[in-house]
Structures are given as C-alpha cells and as structure tokens.
Structure 1
C-alpha cells in the first residue's frame, strides 16, 4: 500500500496543522506504511491535509480513477475567525467551499469528537476520529531547560503560560486581562507573534499588556516553554483539539481551560480546572480564582500527575494503527 500524503501550502502553514502532519508521518513510519509527500495519482490512497485548490483538483481526479480520497478536517469556518488579519472576512464564504471540498473525500479524519460534530453540518461524508496525538519524544528532557528559560524571560514560579501562535481566538484578551488582575504572577505566551499578520485589536492587546505579561515570540526549543511554565492556561474560544494542551498534560503541568465542548473529555478538578465564564458574573475573576487555587503546589502536582496519566492514550504509539485501519478500509 502506497499513500500520497499531501499537505498543500506545507512551506507556509505553521502551528497545529503543521504539527499534526509531522505527527501523522511519524505514525506512518511506525506502521511501515509507504508514502510520498507529493500529490500524485500513482498511489493507492490520496490523503489531503488541507483542502486548497490543488488538493481539490487532485481529489476530483483521484475519484475519477477510482483512487480513494481521505481528507483531514483541520480547518473549519468556526475556528478560522479571530486568527489572522482578514480571516473574519473569509470565514463566511469558507464554509460552503469546505462543504464542497470535504464531499470529494471517501473518508474524513476529524481530530476530535467535537470537530466531528461540526463537520457533520458540512457534509455526510463518513468520518473517523483520530487525535492529532502528542509526540512524547519531542518533549524528552524538557526539565533540563528550566533554569535557562526562566532566566532568559525573567520568570518566577508559579508561571502561567500558553504555547502557540498569539491569536485572539485562543483567548488573548483573557490572558492579558488576567495578567493585569494578578500582577504578582508572571504570565508568558511562547509562540510566534507575526504582528504584521495580526489585526489592530490583537496588536493593541499585545502592545498594551502589563509588565508581568511576556510574549516571547518564536522560541528555538519549545521544550523550554514547558520547562519554565507551571500552569498551562488555555482560555481559547474555539479549538478542534489543541496539540499544545496535550503537550502540557504530557509534561505533567496543571491545566486551566475554558469550559467549551471541545474539552468535554476532560474532568474538572481531576485532570484540569475548567472555567465557565457564562456561570460567573466576571470572566476575568472566574479565571483568576482558578489561577489563585493553583498557587498551591500540592494541587498543581495532583492535577499535573493526573493530566500526564490521561495524556498517555494520545501518544503516537497508541494512535498509529488507526491510520493503517483507515487506509485499508477505504
């Protein structure tokens, strides 16, 4: 069996989608599945990770030739907005485009049950849930970087942190407001800033953030983020899964998430703390209460340990065989 494992715009797309593709290819290697990263019809299966125009062209021709098509549903209109400049304007026409594109596939891969529920409003194409997974090898030895990264960014424990592109949708406003509300606690967001690609409101939030709120920009070794951080704060408004969250759990960090459907699989006060702003009079204060609770090292240790145990089922080794089963089924 040979797979055309194609990632359109591979040289330009970063963040979670890029990481997911890296994970997938590691899993195909683990399973001994032969694949090429080129879009080609000289394959038994065409697997498209991003349904751009070139992928759509190949998907149509693959169908004409009887070659099964698998497409990943990394992108939805729901999680496209509040990301980069112009994405809000593009989100509305994106849904009908994706509906047509996803219908070209014989099978869709959804990174979570939540994502599958969203996609069912786009098309009746059969779906399979396969997590993006977490690469435990990538995080190996992160503890050794603690002193270096705390000193580099002048961070004192317990540091509240987040990892990933700095975009409004991921809860940027909440992150900054919390830093302002809790001036004695250091907040650090590790990840590319790309201010030229950001909207005016996002740029303002970053530039007017308080002194205890650090935006590191790109870091050369992302393990340093998990070494320097103590509490992973993820107030995202919309997420298909969240690889950085899985990484934080794998690293044994206490986690605070917004109580949205994506994270329904997490258990409050067992492997995370969930904050439901709708149930509180003040969103910032509700998140602040959770952060204050986690200044207790005993609670951080308990939640972090439980999170690490929960993350084991998301390891690449635990997931890899699902791709073989999917390819064989189509």
Structure 2
C-alpha cells in the first residue's frame, strides 16, 4: 500500500492542522504504511489534508483514474471566522467552495463527531471520525521545565493558561476579561502572536490586557507551557476538536471549557469543569467562579487525574489502525 499524504501549503500552515498531519504520519509509520508527502496519482490512495486549488486539481484527476480520494475536514466555514485578518469576509464564500471540494472525496475524515455533524451539511461523501490524537511522547519530561518557564514569564501558581495561536475565536476576549476580573491570578497564553495578521479587535484586546495577563508568543518547547500552567482554560467559541486540550488532559491538568457541542464527550465535574455560554453579562462571572473553585489543589488533582486517564483513548497508538482500515476499505 502506498499513500499520497498531501498537505497543500505545508510550508506555511501552522497550528492544529499542521500538528494533525504530523500525528497522522506518525500513525502511518506505526502501521508500516508507505507514503509520500507530495501529491501524486502514482499511489493507492490520495489523502488531502487541506482542499486548496492544487488538492482539488489532483482529486479530480485521481477520480478519473480510479484512485480513491480521502479528504480531511479540518476546515469549515464555521471555525474559519474570527481567526486572522479577513477570515470573516472569506467565511461565507468558503462554504460552497468546501462543499464542492469535499464532494470530490470517496471518504471524509472528521476529527470529531461534532465536526462530522457540520460536514454532513456540506457534502454527501461517506464520513468517518478519527481524532487528531495526542502525541504522548511529545510531552515526555514536561514536569522538569516547570521552574524554568515559571521564572521566564514570572508566573505564580495556580496559573491559568492556554496553548495555541492567539485568535479571537478561541475565546480571547473571555481570557482577557477573566484576567481583569481575577487580578490576583496569573494568566498566560502560550502561542504565536503576530499582530500584523490579526484584526483590530484582537490587537486591541492584547494591547489593553491587564498586567497579570501574559502573551508569551512562540515558545521553543511547548512542554514548558504545560509545565508552567495549572488550569487549562479553553473558552473557545468554535472548535473541530482541539489538540491542545487533549495535550493538557494528557499532562494531567485541570480543564475548564466553554460548554459547546464540540465538548459534549467531556463530563462536567468528572474530567473537566464546563461553563455554560450564558449571556455576555454573566459569562465572565461564571468562568471566574470555575477558576476560583480550582484554587483547591485537591479538586485540580482529581480532575487532572481523570482527564489524563480519559486521554489515553486518544493516543496515536490507540488510533493508528483506523487509518489502515480506512485505506484498506477504499482500495
């Protein structure tokens, strides 16, 4: 079996999509599946991770030649908005484009049940859910970096943190408002911060954030983020899955999430705390109450331990065989 495992714009794509592709290739390696990272029709399966124009071109020709096409549904119009500059304007025309592009696939891979529900409104192609997974080896030894990263960013426990690109959709306004509401708690957002790519509102929120709210920018070792942080706050408004969330759970961190459909698989009070997205006037208070509750070390320990156990089902070892089954079925 030979797979053309292609990520269009690979040299430019960052964040969750790039991380998912890294995970997929590690899983293919685990299964001993031969693959090329360039697009080619000289393969048993063409697997496209981002349906840009070149991927669409290859997908059309693969179908003409009888080569099965797999498309990953990382991108939806729903999660495209409030990300980078101009993405809101592009979200509306993106939907019909993606409908046509995803419709070229013989199989669509969705990272979550929520994402599958969204995608079923785009195209009639068969869907299968395979989590983006979590690379447990990537976090190995993270605890040893705790003192270094806390000292580097002047953070005192219990630190509330988030990992990933700083974008409005992920709950930036809530994150900043909470730091203002809880001045005695340190908040740290670890991840790329290029304000030239952000909209005016994102820039304003970052520049006007209080002193106890730190935006670190890119960190050279992401393990340091999970070492320095104690409570993983994920107030995202729209998410296909959330690799950073799975990583925080794997690291045994207490998690607070917005109660949206994406996270329906999480159990409130067992492996996380969920905050109902109430009206804007009550939202900050509700999140602040959850964070105050997690000032209790025993509660943090209990939620983190349960989360770590729950995350084992998302390890690359647990998921890898699903790709072989998918490809075998198509061939």
Q: So what's the TM-score if we normalise by structure 1?
A: 0.99
Unaligned runs of 5+ in 1: none
> Retained in 2: the 8 A contact 1:280–1:286?
no
Instruction: Compute the RMSD of aligned alpha carbons.
Output: 0.7
Distance 1:273 1:279 in 2: 18
Cα deviation 1:206-255 (Å, max 9, x = unaligned): 00000000000000000000000000000000000000000000000000
- The aligned runs of 1:143-162 (5 Å cut-off) are 143-162=143-162
- In the other structure, the counterpart of 1:203 is 203
Distance 2:14 2:281 in 1: 37
C-alpha displacement at 1:280, in angstroms?
Answer: 8.5
C-alpha displacement at 1:281, in angstroms?
Answer: 5.3
Cα deviation 1:265-311 (Å, max 9, x = unaligned): 00000000000032785100000000000000000000000000000
- In the other structure, the counterpart of 1:249 is 249
* SS class of match (2:278): helix
* SS class of match (1:309): helix
- In the other structure, the counterpart of 2:286 is 286
- In the other structure, the counterpart of 2:277 is 277
C-alpha displacement at 1:124, in angstroms?
Answer: 1.1
Distance 1:281 1:156 in 2: 29
Q: So what's the TM-score if we normalise by structure 2?
A: 0.99
- In the other structure, the counterpart of 2:58 is 58
Cα deviation 1:111-140 (Å, max 9, x = unaligned): 000000000000111000000000000000
- The aligned runs of 1:195-234 (5 Å cut-off) are 195-234=195-234
Distance 2:291 2:124 in 1: 42
- The aligned runs of 1:4-19 (5 Å cut-off) are 4-19=4-19
Distance 2:275 2:44 in 1: 46
Distance 2:196 2:26 in 1: 33
Distance 1:56 1:5 in 2: 14
Aligned residues, how many? Answer: 330
* SS class of match (2:203): helix
Cα deviation 1:13-33 (Å, max 9, x = unaligned): 100000000000000000000
* SS class of match (2:124): coil
- In the other structure, the counterpart of 1:40 is 40
Cα deviation 1:36-63 (Å, max 9, x = unaligned): 0010000000000000000000000000
- In the other structure, the counterpart of 2:300 is 300
Distance 1:35 1:101 in 2: 22
